[in-house]
Amino acid sequence: MKKKENLKGKIRRALDIDDLVPCEDRLEMDGTNELCVSRVGRILFYSEDEIKLALRSYDLKISGNRLYCVSYRSGAVRVSGEIRTLEFERRAKK
């Protein structure tokens, strides 16, 4: 069954501004040294080898070396360092 599109989605599609106003969590990678994640809810774990971020519906685990993260007020987090793996863990609905 097709999911019903909400008003926000309709407007976004009509104006063709999907890229500017993303509806889902957005991840942008620049090589393997930088990762920008938008709509981060919380930082669950932070260490130089592993950073775990809570997104809307899943958690993102970033593993690597010399990791460092900078957060922005808009809810974006930029992780820099040597990124090796990205793991997505869907959270069980309460």
Partner 1 sequence: MRKTSFILWLFGYCIIEIPRAFLEEFLNLCLRYGFNYYGIEMDEEKKRARVKISALEQRNILCACRIWQIRARVVLRGGLPSRASRYRGRWGLLVGAVVSLAVFFISQGVIWRIDVIGNERLSDEYVIGLLDEHGMSVGDLKSGINRDSVEQRIMIDDDEIAWISINLVGTVARVEVREVIDTEIKDKNTTPANLVSSFNAQIVGMEVYSGFLSVKEGDFVKKGELLVSGIYKEGKSPLRVTRASGRILGKVTHTIEVKVPLVQSKKVYTGEIISKKSLIFFGKPIKFFTNYRNLPISYDIINYVYAFDPFSLGELPISLSVDEYHEYEMKDIEISESEAMELAYEELRARIDKELPDAQILKKTLYGEIVDGKYVLRCTLTAVCDIARQVEFEIR
* List of residues contacting partner 1 (CB under 8 A): 40, 42-48, 68-73, 75, 77
Q: How far is the CB of 63 from partner 1 (least distance, A)?
A: 16
Say if CB 17 and CB 3 are below 8 A apart. Answer: no
SS3 sequence, the chain? CCCCCCHHHHHHHHHCCCCCCCCCCCEEEECCCEEEECCCCEEEEECCCEEEEECCCEEEEEEEEEEEEEECCCCCEEEEEEEEEEEEEECCCC
Pick the closer one to partner 1 by CB: 8 or 56: 56
Pick the closer one to partner 1 by CB: 63 or 71: 71
Q: How far is the CB of 72 from partner 1 (least distance, A)?
A: 7
Q: How far is the CB of 35 from partner 1 (least distance, A)?
A: 16
Pick the closer one to partner 1 by CB: 11 or 44: 44
